[in-house]
Amino acid sequence: MSLEQARAVADAVLYEGYLLYPYRASAVKNQLRWQFGVLMPPGFPEEASNSVTQLLVEPSLHSSLHVRVRFLQLQARTVVVDGVEVPSAVVDGTEWTTWDEAVEQEVDAVLRFADLLGGDNTVPFLIDGASVEEQLSDSVRLVRRRWPLSGTLTLRADALPGPYGASRLSVTVANVSGCSGTSRDEVRRDEALRHALIAAHSMMSVTGGRFVSMVDPPEWAKPAVAECRCERTWPVLVGSDDTVLSSPIILYDYPSIARESAGELFDGLEIDEILTLRTMALTDEEKRQARATDPRAAAIVDRVDAMPPELLDRLHGTIRYLRSVTEQEQPWWDPGADSSVDPDTDSVIVDGVRVARGSRVRLRPGLRRADAQDMFLRGREATVQAVLHDVDGDLHVAVTIDGDLDPSYGRFRYFSAEEVEPL
């Protein structure tokens, strides 16, 4: 059940960057794709062919581990007109574009934890290739082709010393597909991608046990967590503490898809409202090109075009919680939270002279200030607008410089007491 609850997050990982706004093949940003979790075949050595995840688990005597490896398999979609490959063609008012699609693939393995403690357990897997033709008209046909993939899933567990009964679980996903050539000059990246595991990640669930958070481990586990090695993956708890998502994208524990999200946009780092509004603003021609690029792009455009106003309003902003703040319980950052300070009346003694709001000073910026432009203010005269104390106990003199912005704008420059000279 936990694996199913995690699927929505895992799907977002699977399709992160699959196709970016404006969702058409001609866009420059969609010319170089498959940025995350790409495990290349060993014949393309300039990019990794495996990923390694190490994490801590507290199993019971009869625990078993369910691992599901998920990835995309490239499927080349080619438009052929009279036997010749072409970039695109129009049939009965519908445009078809030559494009690299993707097919979802999953590999499952279930092992007893006792077997994992015995050493390496290797599970080989093979994904078949295929070639399918679709006749669109007498002269136009679509050819969809994907190439076979082969890989291995290697698992082992090593018991940790101490009274906690924890073990270090190691999971290695490797692409062992054949790919001729030994360098980029002999095999182009687009050719190697035909034999790659794309957006590869894994979900793991343990029965009768639980995983230890790698993001916020308990005190006893911190030394062991620090020794874990993760390469091209990042494991986080998802759903519950008996399920982990090992992602090629760094996440936090218990990630979730916002309830307000109406559907996939293939860019989890962006804001749904922005992408939705920008997609609405596409011209009819741009929308036509997007629909011709990929069925998933067509689904986005159609969903946005049919989005009711109330659903769009829901994307605008959501308050997750409210907490009342009384006069007796003011937040620390509120100037009124501490009655012992008052920027309008507080003062500081500089060279035996009291400096407060309204005082006239000459600026002597220090040589170690972060803003190098302050060197040009040396010797300028200014009026003090406030004396401020920060949360670290440091003091700052807020000033407006003669001939600069009007004080009513509330835009001040800040100096330490040692950097001002009373006039």
Tell me the pLDDT tens digit for each residue of 331-345: 555 656 667 778 888
Tell whether 51 and 155 lie within a shared domain.
yes
Q: What is the pLDDT of residues 110-130, one digit of tens each?
A: 999 999 998 899 999 999 999
* Phi and psi at residue 89, to the nearest 5°: -155, 155
Last residue within a domain, chosen from 314, 344, 369? 314
Tell whether 339 and 270 lie within a shared domain.
no
Tell whether 221 and 359 lie within a shared domain.
no
Distance CA 233, CA 199 (A): 11
Tell whether 187 and 264 lie within a shared domain.
yes
Tell whether 75 and 140 lie within a shared domain.
yes
Q: What is the pLDDT of residues 21-41, one digit of tens each?
A: 999 998 888 888 888 899 999
Tell whether 281 and 341 lie within a shared domain.
no
Q: Dihedral sign, CA of 16, 22, 28, 31?
A: positive
Q: In the prediction, which pLDDT does 112 show?
A: 94
Residue whose token pair is 């003062």: 347
H or E element that contains 192: helix 189-192
CA 334 to chain centroid: 33
Which structural domain range is residue 391 located in? 335-422
Instruction: For residue 31, give the 3-state DSSP assignment.
Output: coil
> Is 324 contained in some domain?
no
> Is 322 contained in some domain?
no
Q: In the prediction, which pLDDT does 182 show?
A: 45
> Is 350 contained in some domain?
yes
Distance CA 362, CA 68 (A): 69
Distance CA 315, CA 144 (A): 37
Q: In the prediction, which pLDDT does 180 show?
A: 59
Query: What would the two tokens of residue 236 be?
Result: 């986080």
Tell whether 348 and 216 lie within a shared domain.
no
Tell whether 285 and 206 lie within a shared domain.
yes
> Is 101 contained in some domain?
yes
* Phi and psi at residue 366, to the nearest 5°: -75, 165
Q: What is the pTM of this model?
A: 0.73
Tell whether 68 and 139 lie within a shared domain.
yes
Tell whether 348 and 306 lie within a shared domain.
no
The domain total for the chain is 2
Among 364, 175, 251, 313, which residue's Cα sits nearest to residue 9? 251
Last residue within a domain, chosen from 314, 344, 359? 314
CATH of the domain at 391: 2.30.30.140
Q: What is the pLDDT of residues 380-423, one digit of tens each?
A: 999 999 999 887 778 899 999 988 877 877 788 999 999 999 99
Distance CA 231, CA 354 (A): 60
> Is 330 contained in some domain?
no
Share of the chain above pLDDT 70, in %: 91
Q: How confident is the prediction for the chain on average, in pLDDT?
A: 88
Q: In the prediction, which pLDDT does 184 show?
A: 47
Q: Is a pLDDT exceeding 90 seen at residue 107?
A: yes
User: pLDDT confidence of 3, banded at 50, 70, 90?
Assistant: low
Tell whether 308 and 207 lie within a shared domain.
yes
User: pLDDT confidence of 226, banded at 50, 70, 90?
Assistant: very high
Distance CA 184, CA 180 (A): 11
Q: In the prediction, which pLDDT does 71 show?
A: 97
Tell whether 351 and 229 lie within a shared domain.
no
> Is 169 contained in some domain?
yes
Over residues 283-310, the mean pLDDT reads 92
> Is 320 contained in some domain?
no
> Is 208 contained in some domain?
yes
